[in-house]
């Protein structure tokens, strides 16, 4: 963790993310690749907010963190449903599951997180890692499926994002 989660590594990960995006999507240009880099770097910023002072700036030296992990469940629920509120208010349902699917999905995610915090520990590190990986894939797949049940509110975004290709 000292090297993969350091500030220096986050900068390198962000640059790599932007370059890889640009290599596959050159038509989008560098500005969009820059947004991808910013999104990748935002992971370190969010880690800084929630981690205890265990995030190194470089190597294994000076470590920083604001420690909001001391209030894990409440903080995660706040961020989860805060993000869902923003999503909910900027999109509209266009198919079955689009009206309440994300809310139900959010409640399931809270239940899983509560089980992780308060339930029994995994039987091994490997079992914990495999379970986490499987849940990440499952949650991403469900989020992708639910995303297709909603569309942007504004006509401008709708025109840009949802017009069928000719």
Domain boundaries, the chain: 7-68, 71-161
The number of residues making up the chain comes to 166
pTM exceeds 0.85, yes or no: no
Q: In this structure, what is the dihedral angle of CA atoms 88, 93, 98, 104, given to the nearest 10 degrees?
A: 30
- The pLDDT tens digits for 13-27 are 999 999 999 999 988
CA distance 1 to 154: 42
CA distance 60 to 41: 19
- The pLDDT tens digits for 98-123 are 889 988 999 999 899 888 888 999 99
CA distance 89 to 13: 32
102 token code pair: 């994300």
Is the pLDDT higher at 141 or at 114?
141
Grade residue 37 by pLDDT with cuts at 50, 70 and 90.
Answer: very high
């Amino acid at each position: 963790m000292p090297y993969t989660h350091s500030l220096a590594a986050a900068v390198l990960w962000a640059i790599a993310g932007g370059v890889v995006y640009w290599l596959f999507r050159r038509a989008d240009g560098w500005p969009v690749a820059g947004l991808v880099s910013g999104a990748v770097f935002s992971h370190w910023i969010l880690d800084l907010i929630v981690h205890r002072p265990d995030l190194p700036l470089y190597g294994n030296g000076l470590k920083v963190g604001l420690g909001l992990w001391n209030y894990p469940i409440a903080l995660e629920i706040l961020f989860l449903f805060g993000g869902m509120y923003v999503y909910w208010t900027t999109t509209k349902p266009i198919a079955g599951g689009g009206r309440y699917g994300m809310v139900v999905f959010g409640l399931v995610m809270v239940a899983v997180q509560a089980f992780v915090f308060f339930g029994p520990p995994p039987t091994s590190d490997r079992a914990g890692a495999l379970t986490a990986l499987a849940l990440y894939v499952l949650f991403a797949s469900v989020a992708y499926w639910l995303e297709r049940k909603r569309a942007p509110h504004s006509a401008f975004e709708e025109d840009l994002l949802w017009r069928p290709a000719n």
